[in-house]
């Protein structure tokens, strides 16, 4: 699992370096070549780790099972609110907009990097109504997809995580909104 932690650390460095490349040359054009060399070095290191992950099969089945379990738990938590006079809190009582969606991604990453760990999400109640259908559909679709998929190695698990992270922020986030329930 150390390779997965290394991958995420390198990915954060790559993201940071990409930001530097976009900003710093405007103020210091001489830095461009140096920054691009540093980025290329990080990308090569990341590719080596991906190749290593493709060779490790131990734990990939367990990660897949934990992903299915996590989605199932979120689904059950959302279903719990169906017959209640309140709703699951999309922000989870934080000022971070739609924190619940970020929390799902964070929990998936935790499962990836801490082998054998289970996550037990507990959704908080709120009086703010929101359209849970996109999230419920997302969870059900991915539970089904996972049940027909097999992670051969840790790279498969990582690539699935990356796909899900993109989907939740590009597809689910924009259409998961609060609904005015006339209480204001």
Instruction: Give me the pLDDT at residue 30, please.
Output: 82
pLDDT tens digit sequence for 28-37:
878 888 999 9
Among all chains, which residue has been given the structure tokens 């609904």?
179
Instruction: Give me the pLDDT at residue 38, please.
Output: 95
- The Cα–Cα gap between 39 and 24 comes to 14
Q: What is the helix (H) or strand (E) element at residue 10, kind and residue range?
A: helix 2-27
Note whether 142 and 104 are within 8 A (CB): no
Question: What number of H helices and E strands is found in the chain?
Answer: 7, 2
pTM: 0.86
- The Cα–Cα gap between 35 and 9 comes to 18
Would you say residue 183 has pLDDT above 70? no
- The Cα–Cα gap between 5 and 110 comes to 10
Instruction: Indicate the pairing of strand 125-126 with strand 87-88.
Output: antiparallel
Would you say residue 152 has pLDDT above 80? yes
- The Cα–Cα gap between 152 and 122 comes to 31
Tokens representing 59 are 């734990």
- The Cα–Cα gap between 44 and 3 comes to 14
Where do the domains of the chain lie?
2-54, 60-175
Strand partners, 126: 87
Tokens representing 148 are 């027909």
- The Cα–Cα gap between 122 and 154 comes to 28
């Amino acid at each position: 699992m150390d390779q997965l932690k290394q991958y995420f650390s390198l990915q954060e460095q790559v993201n940071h370096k990409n930001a530097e490349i976009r900003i710093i040359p405007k103020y210091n054009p001489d830095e461009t070549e140096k920054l691009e060399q540093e980025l290329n070095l990080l990308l090569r290191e990341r590719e080596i780790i991906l190749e290593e992950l493709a060779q490790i099969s131990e734990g990939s089945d367990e990660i897949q099972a934990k992903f299915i379990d996590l989605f199932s738990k979120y689904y059950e938590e959302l279903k719990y609110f169906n017959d209640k006079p309140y709703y699951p809190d999309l922000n989870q009582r934080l000022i971070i907009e739609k924190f619940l969606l970020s929390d799902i991604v964070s929990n998936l990453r935790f499962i990836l990097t801490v082998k054998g760990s289970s996550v037990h999400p507990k959704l908080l109640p709120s009086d703010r109504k929101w359209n849970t259908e996109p999230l419920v559909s997302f969870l059900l679709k991915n539970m089904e997809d996972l049940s027909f998929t097999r992670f051969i190695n840790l790279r498969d698990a990582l690539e699935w995580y990356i796909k899900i992270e993109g989907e939740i922020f590009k597809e689910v986030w924009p259409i998961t909104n609060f609904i005015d329930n006339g209480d204001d």
